[in-house]
């Protein structure tokens, strides 16, 4: 009930703000998303509103959008992570709701040349040469197993806990190869889900992997950053764990992400289309 009240409160705050502000409101999922999009929006004609909280920031963003749309509120746009929605039924469809190109904002950063810049800065040329694999591809190939198990957990109602799992327990730090049984056991231990059978989960995982979904829609950005953190310690770098911890890496990726990279995304195009369909409301700066 408290969540519903807080969603109504956000919607009412935006309605109240409209009395003195005639420009665009853009709803985003949280503080880091707001920090990212602030670099591209025209702050003179667009205001970003962070709608974070439990149980899901994304669901709260959509709930606020629905409330405002039902009252025919003009100049409202929401941008959320796609998550697994391109692999299943969309949660909510609206011309005022846009999604990231890939699974989430972090995978958009990793797919872009921002990753190359961070690896060049924090990696070792010699180790990268010895690694002899494309770093981005290696992250995807390893992270997809974790992504699929997260999707399986959601689809099958397994309620597995992914937050706080120790990636070094199931990923080889030298090769970045994943041991799926060790991953399954780490998830079971973290979730206290000992009734689940290793073999059943592994077979379910193999069945999903055989469908060859787009890895950029399956892999979760936070997982890929965890794997990148591991790789920069031994496989492609010699950093101390504290120097390449995941939150710091995500910040580095955001800083390395240039405006020209954003202009190459479908999300950028979708925002421009929204602007043309909702004149005179604007979102992005003209010089982007």
- Residue 129 pLDDT: 96
DSSP string, 176-215: --B-HHHHHHHHHHHHT-TTS-HHHHHHHHHHHHTT---H
- Residue 1 pLDDT: 40
What are 41's strand-pairing partners? Answer: 284
Find, among 219, 236, 213, 263, the residue nearest to 110 by Cα: 219
- Strand 46-50 to strand 76-80: parallel, antiparallel, or no bridges (unpaired)? unpaired
- Residue 3 pLDDT: 56
Instruction: Give the span between the Cα atoms of 61 and 37, in whole angstroms.
Output: 15
Per-residue pLDDT, averaged over 267-284, amounts to 98
pLDDT at 5 over 90: no
pLDDT at 2 over 70: no
Per-residue pLDDT tens digits for 183-215: 999 999 999 999 999 999 999 999 999 998 999
Instruction: Give the span between the Cα atoms of 166 and 180, in whole angstroms.
Output: 13
Instruction: Give the span between the Cα atoms of 282 and 41, in whole angstroms.
Output: 9
Instruction: Give the span between the Cα atoms of 56 and 74, in whole angstroms.
Output: 25
CB 30 within 8 A of CB 52: yes
CB 162 within 8 A of CB 187: yes
Q: SS3 helix, strand, coil % of the chain, rounded to 5?
A: 55, 10, 35
Instruction: Give the span between the Cα atoms of 130 and 121, in whole angstroms.
Output: 17
**pTM, full prediction:** 0.94
CB 26 within 8 A of CB 79: yes
What are the angstrom distances between the C-alpha of 2 and each of 8, 57, 280? Answer: 10, 14, 36
């Amino acid at each position: 009930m408290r969540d519903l009240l807080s969603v109504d409160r956000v919607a009412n705050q935006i309605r109240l703000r409209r009395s003195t502000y005639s420009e665009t409101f853009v709803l985003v999922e949280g503080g880091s998303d707001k920090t990212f999009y602030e670099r591209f929006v025209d702050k003179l004609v667009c205001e970003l509103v962070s709608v974070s909280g439990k149980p899901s920031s994304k669901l709260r963003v959509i709930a606020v959008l629905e409330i405002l749309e039902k009252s025919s509120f003009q100049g409202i746009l929401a941008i959320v992570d796609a998550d697994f929605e391109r692999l299943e039924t969309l949660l909510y469809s609206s011309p005022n709701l846009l999604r990231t190109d890939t699974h989430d904002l972090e995978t958009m950063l990793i797919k872009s040349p921002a990753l190359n810049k961070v690896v060049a800065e924090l990696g070792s040329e010699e180790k990268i040469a010895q690694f002899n694999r494309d770093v981005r591809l290696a992250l995807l190939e390893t992270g997809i197993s974790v992504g699929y198990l997260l999707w399986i957990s959601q689809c099958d109602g397994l309620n597995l806990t992914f937050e706080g799992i120790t990636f070094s327990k199931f990923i080889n730090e030298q090769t970045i190869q994943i041991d799926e049984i060790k991953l399954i056991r780490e998830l079971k231990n973290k979730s206290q889900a000992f009734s689940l059978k290793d073999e059943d989960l592994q077979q379910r995982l193999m069945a999903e992997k055989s469908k060859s979904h787009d890895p950029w829609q399956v892999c979760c950005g936070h997982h890929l950053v965890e794997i990148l953190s591991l790789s920069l310690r031994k496989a492609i770098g010699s950093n101390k764990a504290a120097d390449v911890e995941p939150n710091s890496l995500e910040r580095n990726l955001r800083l390395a992400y240039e405006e020209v990279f954003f202009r190459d995304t479908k999300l950028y195009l979708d925002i421009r289309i929204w602007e043309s369909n909702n004149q005179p409301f604007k979102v992005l700066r003209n010089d982007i």
